[in-house]
Amino acid sequence: SMTVASAATVPDSLKQTPHPRSPDAENKARRFWIAVKMPGAARWLKQLAVLDEVSLSLFSSERHVSAGAPHALLPTPLLQSVWPRDRLLSLRVAGAKEPFRFLAENALECAEWATLIRDAYTTARQRGTEL
């Protein structure tokens, strides 16, 4: 029969408490350069979008990513709906009158991002109801 080691025998170095920004979460983050039109903005901006379990962050450059200074930070629980149409992705966020608009390279990429974003906010909502 299998003997399971009790918690006391596990060295502290192996008992890792999950951290909101764990290296694991970093690895799961999706990064893509994309043209973004913020709600109420007149023009499109080239932004580096970083999507992870907790947020969709928009950065102006890699330097801003390193500095942890996003141009916009959208917590995943506030994302309401995402609608891909050809290359254009419209993302509705709680509290914003207009959607955020993203312009992908092609329709396939647009559909893939829509799926990733939808998965992120669906997971965030499920977590919210579990808390």
User: Could you give the domains of the chain?
Assistant: 24-130 (2.30.29.30)
> Residue 92, Cα to own-chain centre: how many angstroms?
14
| Distance between CA atoms of residues 70 and 57, nearest Å | 6
Half-sphere exposure of 29 (CA within 13 A, CB side): 20
The pLDDT value recorded for residue 5 is: 45
Name the residue among 17, 85, 74 with its Cα closest to residue 49: 74
Averaged pLDDT, groups of 10, the chain, 131 residues long: 48 46 58 92 94 93 92 94 96 94 94 94 86 60
Identify the DSSP state of 80.
E
- Assess contact for 64 and 6: CB atoms under 8 A: no
pLDDT of the residue at 125: 87
* Predicted local confidence at residue 6, as pLDDT: 45
Task: List the alpha helices (DSSP H) in 11-103.
Answer: 23-28, 62-67
Tell me the pTM. Answer: 0.72
pLDDT at position 57: 96
